[in-house]
């Protein structure tokens, strides 16, 4: 059974035999606030709290393990799941104090991107909506209110879209977070992008592009062998036509691989009429992977090509590196 934290009121009513119907909404609101026991739910009758506590002495199905804090305010948690598997999640804080939770949606990742630590772990299973929400609550318990959520941790969100959608529903309806504060990041699974365009939710979309050269992208991101740059661009055009929203393109830049001005010009040609923002992400070092960080000159050259063409581009702040919690680094504390 899914963790209670991922259930809608109607599901809670059935799972917990709640009656009258408004009791399920009461429990739902407490769970959305991260309540860890039914004893905390003060608006339930004492007899009901006792009954439910007997069923669930502790509500969370998972538990925090290793906990690493960086001097830049970042926090990385290892979460041990009920079946013994584990994932990592991260909280990042910007210079204005805004806190973003980077949540995982799978144990490991099936996509196998060459430059990503998580991709080297392989794939074990999907997370449930409740397991996703428990990450959010463990982070907020330690650092207070969270303003943004990105599904950009371990795993491919579009490959587990059902659970991700349920978690987003709880974040929106239960926690009260605006959908505009939630981002789904994908490596380029075209069916998921099209489904999101047609059925929502209306969250922000980010795509890990990395390279706009067919051969190079296929060598770095195996997903490109199934959904090439042409089909990906067509899907993004359909998404943009349906939603009117700007798409974020994420480019992890590796020295001597995709950092040249020529790579930037290829990216410009591929973007064409798409309305995008490009996040340029200097590759974060992962021991054992055969890449290097780009030089300052390479980054400046790459950025200057984009800016000269009028593309909205930003260089991603490198937060979380001190705890191996930056982009592409998750999974260093895990062994399956």
* Catalytic residue positions, numbered: 88, 327
CB burial of 136-160 (b: ≥16 within 10 Å; e: otherwise) equals: bbbbbeebeebebbbbbbbbbbbbb
Q: Determine the Cα–Cα distance for residues 31 and 208; give it in Å rounded to an integer.
A: 33
- Smallest CA-to-CA distance from 184 within 156, 204, 209 is with 204
Q: Determine the Cα–Cα distance for residues 172 and 165; give it in Å rounded to an integer.
A: 10
Q: Are strands 123-126 and 312-315 parallel, antiparallel or unpaired?
A: unpaired
Our CA angle for 329, 103, 108, nearest 5°, is 55
Q: At which residue do the structure tokens 């739902």 appear?
A: 28
Longest dimension (CA), the chain: 69
The backbone torsions φ and ψ at residue 239, rounded to the nearest 5 degrees and listed phi first, read -60, -45
Q: Determine the Cα–Cα distance for residues 103 and 79; give it in Å rounded to an integer.
A: 11
Distance of CA 277 to the CA centre of its chain: 18
Q: What is the end-to-end Cα distance of the chain in Å, rounded?
A: 22
DSSP class of residue 260 equals S
- Smallest CA-to-CA distance from 29 within 166, 173, 177, 143 is with 173
Q: Determine the Cα–Cα distance for residues 258 and 118; give it in Å rounded to an integer.
A: 20
Contact status, residue 315 vs residue 299, Cβ threshold 8 Å:
yes
Residues β-bridged to residue 149? 101, 182
DSSP H stretches of helix in the chain: 9-16, 22-32, 46-55, 129-143, 161-169, 190-199, 214-220, 229-243, 261-271, 296-308
């Amino acid at each position: 059974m899914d963790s209670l934290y991922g259930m809608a009121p109607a599901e809670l009513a059935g799972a917990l035999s709640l009656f009258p119907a408004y009791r399920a909404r009461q429990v739902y609101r407490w769970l959305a606030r991260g309540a860890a026991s039914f004893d905390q739910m003060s608006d339930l009758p004492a007899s009901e709290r006792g009954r439910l506590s007997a069923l669930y002495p502790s509500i969370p199905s998972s538990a925090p393990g290793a906990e690493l804090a960086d001097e830049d305010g970042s926090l990385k948690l290892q979460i041990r799941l009920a079946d013994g598997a584990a994932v990592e999640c991260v909280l990042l804080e910007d210079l204005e104090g805004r806190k973003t939770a980077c949540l995982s949606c799978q144990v490991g990742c099936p996509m196998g991107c060459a430059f990503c630590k998580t991709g080297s772990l392989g794939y074990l299973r999907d997370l449930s909506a409740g397991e996703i929400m428990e990450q959010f609550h463990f982070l907020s318990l330690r650092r207070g209110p969270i303003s943004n959520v990105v599904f950009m941790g371990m795993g491919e969100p579009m490959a587990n879209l059902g659970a991700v959608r349920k978690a987003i529903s709880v974040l929106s309806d239960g926690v009260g977070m605006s959908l505009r504060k939630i981002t789904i990041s994908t490596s380029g699974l075209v069916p998921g992008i099209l489904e999101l365009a047609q059925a929502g939710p209306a969250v922000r979309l980010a795509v890990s592009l990395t390279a706009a050269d067919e051969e190079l992208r296929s060598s770095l991101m195996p997903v490109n062998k199934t959904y090439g740059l042409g089909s990906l661009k067509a899907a993004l055009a359909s998404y943009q036509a349906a939603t009117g929203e700007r798409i974020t393109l994420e480019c992890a830049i590796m020295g001597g691989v995709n950092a040249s001005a020529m790579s930037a010009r290829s990216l410009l040609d591929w973007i064409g009429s798409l309305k995008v923002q490009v996040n340029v992400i200097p590759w974060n070092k992962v021991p054992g992977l055969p890449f290097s960080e780009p030089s300052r000159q390479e980054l400046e050259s790459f950025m200057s090509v984009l800016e000269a063409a009028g593309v909205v581009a930003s260089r991603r702040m490198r937060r979380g590196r001190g705890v191996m919690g930056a982009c592409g680094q998750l999974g260093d504390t895990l062994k399956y």
